[in-house]
Amino acid sequence: MKVTATLAALASISAVTAAPSGGPGRHGPGGHHGPKGKYPGLDVLAKRAGLQYFGTAIDNVVLNNTQYTSIAHNKSEFGQVTPSNGMKWMFTEPERGVFNWTAALEIVKPARKARQLTRCHAFVWHTQLPAWIDHTNWTKPELVSILENHIKNEARAFKDDCIAWDVVNEAFNEDGTYRETIFYKVIGKEYIELAFKFARKYTPRKTMLYYNDYNIETVNNKSLAVAELVKDFQRRRIPIDGVGLQAHYTVGRSPSYQQQMDVMKMFNDLKMEVAMTELDVRQPTLPETQEMRIQQAEAYRDAVKACRDAKNCIGVTVWDFWDPVSWVPYTFPGQGNACLWDDNFNKKEAYYYISDMLRE
């Protein structure tokens, strides 16, 4: 998972006044939608197609925008939600041993009311850590104790809410070597297995435990390293249930349907549950052309289709649905428009490509 954006950077978004949602716009040949057609929500269609859910990440900075929240917690569109920032370590344990669930609960509570599922994200990640972790020279026993205490408290706080936890996030480099995070440097690679052991110790048995990463949506050095991690865990009976494919794509450079099917099969053959956990497709240049919008729609469609067709891909989560909340422009200046709804809450071609594919 990439950083969606800092709360400060996006604070002004909450004041956006958007135009009413527009019509369906253009979509590809063979579409089922007419001007007066009915549009079952994406979660409704995903379930009909055999998936457990179609979901979205939700960020705290726009929770006072009622048009945003009415879509975010519309169960027909999104049967599952992920707090994009509120469960990360810098917000949940800003001081050692001092826990704060406010940001997470701002999303979890409305999801409970709407009867949406919640994917919880994330116990361990090298980014968005509080300064007290990053700027202290820990001994190995100290940091192991801190890791267990953090997972214990957060797991127990949300024990009734999480269908799955992203236990460890982005532990590998592109070449398949271990990323040299503070946890790796102090504890060694065993921090990953310790995190999964602690997660299993403190979460209900029904909660699925995931490893989550980006650029593992094709068979490559990084995804093969994750597969080896899974095999090692299985040999030594370390708990792991699933692999999250973040699926942050770029128009013109997204993997093909078959490439995504191949990597899902690799993990399914290891008896891993798979989910697309953070799907978005960014435009590499702005403003985009109509042709680029169609390419974006095709990339979205192929990703969701691969999950639909894979043996054990359970669902798709988009990494927010509204362009102004996307992490992309803050990380890749000059790029963006990565989501399914545009600035004015109009559904894009990508929405209808997904909808039509699921209806088929």
If residue 208 lies in a helix (H) or strand (E), which one and from where to where?
A: strand 208-213
Residue 148 catalytic? no
3-state SS class at 55:
strand
Length of the chain: 360
Catalytic one among 93, 154, 170, 298?
170
In 297-336, which positions are buried (b, 16+ CB within 10 angstroms) versus exposed (e)? bbbbbbbbbbbbebebbbbbbbbbbbbbbbbbbeeeeebb
Q: What is the DSSP string of 57-109?
A: EE-GGGTT-HHHHHHHT-TTT-SEEEESSTTSHHHH-SBTTB---HHHHHHHH
Closest listed residue to residue 346, CA positions, set 27, 53, 132, 76: 27
Catalytic one among 93, 217, 278, 349?
278
Residue 278 catalytic? yes
Q: Helical H runs in the chain?
A: 42-48, 66-72, 89-92, 102-114, 131-134, 140-157, 182-187, 190-202, 221-235, 257-269, 290-309, 328-331, 349-359
Report whether 260 contacts 303 (CB < 8 A).
yes
Radius of gyration of the chain (CA): 20
Neighbours of 216 (CB within 10 A): 27
Place of tokens 């704060």: 100
Neighbouring residues of 69: CB distance < 8 A, sequence distance ≥ 6: 62, 63, 110
Closest listed residue to residue 80, CA positions, set 318, 249, 350, 306: 318
Q: How far apart are CA 183 and CA 25, in angstroms?
A: 48
Neighbouring residues of 152: CB distance < 8 A, sequence distance ≥ 6: 198, 201, 202
Angle at 182 between CA 174 and CA 185, to 5 degrees: 80
Which residue type occupies 294? I
Catalytic residues: 170, 278
